Amino acid sequence: MTEHRLLKRQIRKYLPENWEENEQLVQFVKAINESYTNYDQDQALSQHAFDIADQEYNEITQKLLKEKELRDKSINTLLDSVDQLDTENKSDWISASDNLLNIAQYLSAQVSKKKEIEEQLKKAIKEARNASRAKSQFLSTMSHEIRSPLNVIIGMSHLLQLENHLPEQSENLEILNIASKNLMLLINDILDYNKIESGKLELDLKPFSLVELVTNIKKANSVNAQERGNQLKLILDSDIPDSLIGDSGRLGQIITNLVSNAIKFTKEGTIRMTVSVVKQEEQDSLISVTVQDSGIGISKQKQQTIFEQFTQASSHITREYGGTGLGLAISKRLLELMGSTIHLKSEEGKGATFSFRLWLRESTEINKTKFEESDERDLSGSYILVVDDLEYNLVMIRKILGEWNVKMDLCQNGEEAIQKIRDHDYDMVLMDMQMPVMDGKEATTEIRKFNTRVPIIAFTALNDQASRNELYNAGMNGFLTKPFNPDEMYDKLRKLLNQFDQVTLE
């Protein structure tokens, strides 16, 4: 038997040397020795268990400390976010800001508040859209109501100039003609800007002659320049291609705005139009257009504002020179649609220079938009139905078409037009859009149910692409936009009557 170390000391101290001869004493010592051994084992196990528990405790404690640190950091971040949500009512909850339940309740209130704001925003957006639609409808209606009588004024002034009149009336008729055309430009500016703002304006890319375009612009503005004692000069680069692809109408509108502004703000000076080729790459040419004047100039602080809508350099300019302040705003937006930018260099009292550069592709053909000019205006053999609810429009059109020897019928609403087309074989129908009883679109839809041959031309003030597509879908074949120039109207009617092929009139 191997005695426990403690038991050995007790045996040496208290038992005689021959204790092993006593069987009962030996059994007793064995029992005690086993007890000592078992105690040591239990103690070792307990210590091991304690060591393990202590290690786990430390690990759990460290984990909890890290979680608490992360919680505190998260709460601080949350509090910073809450501070940014609403600074007005912070004092209502800040005293208990470490209380997550309090913060959650506050956030719940903020979410409800944001939802309420979102609903208000949705309502405001809906109201804004309704207002935009109402504005577009208003402008469409006003466009028709204004253009219709203006169309009569332009038409009648044209007829009066053709008819016999007293020599002293010539100047009055010329003033009437100029004033009516200026009013037409004003209306077009307002409607064009509305189309640009609403994203409804689309470029019409066709072959055109840039040289012819700017030459015509110079001719059209020469009289105004001379009246103010100005010299209007045109400098053309000989490298300009004969035919380019672009929206000649909108490009002409931009250049005309710049030239007319230069003339308006210059007196007894010089306006130079310079058109040149800056760079050529295969079929593409970078065209530079510059309009320079020696007029009143524009101060540095006003040079940005003049490109804003309804804005001019100063109020006295509006009073002295007139204008809506839309021309430059429209020109800037049109150039942006074309991928270009307008630039200005000017000093007050030292004139102004407007310029832009535009990439245009060369074309192998020129879009012929005009017929050979002739003093003869004869459409003999043509049979045209004119549908318009305004009596003075019918009187004016009857006189103009009568000058061209057109056989015609007149009526004032869509229902009458349907019956006349059933009864007669017309070469063309000029159909007004906004009429009582039945409008032009509805009448066209009904006509196409029994007659798909006769060309129906929308005689309208609406000229945006969306309106045109809608009328095309109803069965119309083209457009004659009010107000019209009688000479241009003759060319368009002649072209349609000679060869009709879904031609769009502008």
Measuring CA to CA, how many Å separate 112 from each of 84, 87, 108, 117, 403? Answer: 16, 17, 6, 9, 73
Q: What is the pLDDT of residue 224?
A: 84
Contacts of 309 (CB under 8 A, 6+ apart): 193, 325, 326, 329
Per CATH, the number for 210-362 is: 3.30.565.10
Contact 385, 420 (CB under 8 A): yes
> Which whole number is the average pLDDT over 298-307?
79
Contact 159, 400 (CB under 8 A): yes
Contact 478, 491 (CB under 8 A): no
Contact 36, 29 (CB under 8 A): no
User: What is d(CA 208, CA 71) in angstroms, rounded to the nearest whole number?
Assistant: 72
Higher pLDDT, 373 or 418: 418
Contact 288, 240 (CB under 8 A): no
User: What is d(CA 362, CA 80) in angstroms, rounded to the nearest whole number?
Assistant: 61
pLDDT in tens, 372-403: 444 567 888 899 999 998 887 888 888 888 88
339: left (phi over 0), alpha (psi -120 to 50) or beta: left
| DSSP letters for 86-138 | -STTGGGTGGGTT-HHHHHHHHHHHHHHHHHHHHHHHHHHHHHHHHHHHHHHH
> Which whole number is the average pLDDT over 292-319?
69
Measuring CA to CA, how many Å separate 138 from each of 133, 146, 431, 480? Answer: 8, 12, 21, 21
Q: What is the pLDDT of residue 502?
A: 41
Q: What is the pLDDT of residue 421?
A: 94
Q: What is the mean pLDDT of the chain?
A: 79
Is the domain defined by 383-498 classed in CATH 3.40.50.2300?
yes
User: What is d(CA 382, CA 360) in angstroms, rounded to the nearest whole number?
Assistant: 40
- Its pTM surpasses 0.75: no
pLDDT in tens, 231-275: 999 999 989 999 999 998 889 889 988 998 899 889 999 999 999
pLDDT in tens, 10-56: 777 778 878 788 888 788 888 888 887 787 777 777 777 777 777 77
